[in-house]
Structure formats: C-alpha cells, structure tokens
Structure 1
Amino acid sequence: MQTIILYIGRDTEITGVMNRLLNARPEWKGICVCTDEEAIEICQTQPIDLVLLGNGIDAACEKALRAKLTEVKPGLKIIQHYGGGSGLLYGEIMTAISQDF
C-alpha cells in the first residue's frame, strides 16, 4: 500500500524536485503543489496520509493552512520540510508516518 504525500511549497523548481523524489520510491505517491487552494482541493478529494510544508510558506499562511487542512481531514499529519538531501527527506517521512500525532 502506498503512502500518499502532499507537498506544498512556493518555489516551482523545488516543487518539481520534490515531485521527482517523492515519486521515485514505489511505496510513496507524491502530489506536489504550489498554492494553498490546490492543496485544500486535493485534501478534499483524495486520500492523503501526510502533508509536507516546504519553503516559502510564511508563519501566518502556515497557521491558516494547517487549520484548514485539519478541518478538512482531522488528524492529518503535517510536518515541515525545508530541504536537505533525499536521506533527510526519507527519515522525516518515515518518522512522521510511524508516529501518532
């Protein structure tokens, strides 16, 4: 069974890289977007296991986005990812999906 991961970031180039990294592993399905509206729509229509918040999301937007996403999907796991190698990404995701939030 695949873990479905939604990545939200503001930089289109980094979002493209994240899409490639997340979808390179057969146990993950990555969906990568740059706007809050796209993210909310995806959460309303698709099963999402984990949300990664990427670079460029300011504190006020993050707070509002977290509130809206958890309103749509109570208990949704949401973590921050600011970069680093694919090993760091793997560790962050594996830690998040193994923990109860």
Structure 2
Amino acid sequence: MQTTILYIGRDAEITVVMERLLNARPEWKGICVCTDEEAVALCEKQNLDLVLLGNGINAECEKVLRAKLTALQPGLKIIQHYGGGSGLLYGEIMSTLN
C-alpha cells in the first residue's frame, strides 16, 4: 500500500523538485501544491497519511492550515520540512510515520 504525502510550499520550483523526490519511491505517492486552498480541497477529497509544510508558510498560515486539515482528517500527521537532501527528507518522513 502506498503512503500518500501532501507537500505544501510557496515556491513553485521547489514544489516540482519535492514532487519528483516524493514520487521517486514506489511506496510513496507525493502530491505537491502551492496554495492553502489547493491543500484543503485535496484533503476534502483524498485520504492523506502525512502533510509536509514547506518554505514560505508563515506562523499564522501554518496555524490556520493545521486546524483546517486536522478538522477534515483528525489524527493527520503534519510536520515542517524546509529543505535538505533526499536522505533528510526520507528520515523525516519515516520517523514521523513510525
């Protein structure tokens, strides 16, 4: 079974890279968006295992986003990811899911 991971970031170029990295692993299904509205709409339609909050999301947006997403999917794991290599990304994801 695939683990569905949503990445939310404000930089479109980084979002493209994240989508490639997340989907490089067959056990992960990565979905990447740049707006909170896209994230909430996706969360309404699809079951998610993990949300990664990326660059450019300020503290107030993060607070609102966390509240909206967990209201839609209680128990949803949400962590911050601000960069680093693919090894760091893998470690963050695996430690959060385990």
Which residue of structure 2 lines up, in the alignment, with residue 13 of structure 1? 13
User: 1:43 & 1:59 partners in 2: Cα distance?
Assistant: 20
What SS does the corresponding residue of 1:7 show, helix, strand or coil? strand
After superposition, where does 1:70-85 map in structure 2 within 5 Å? 70-85=70-85
Which residue of structure 1 lines up, in the alignment, with residue 2 of structure 2? 2
Which consecutive unaligned segments of at least 5 residues does structure 2 have? none
Shift of 1:59: 0.4
User: 2:82 & 2:89 partners in 1: Cα distance?
Assistant: 9
Percent identity (aligned): 79
TM value normalised by structure 1: 0.96
User: How many equivalent pairs are there?
Assistant: 98
Which residue of structure 1 lines up, in the alignment, with residue 25 of structure 2? 25
Which consecutive unaligned segments of at least 5 residues does structure 1 have? none
Moved over 3 A (4+): none
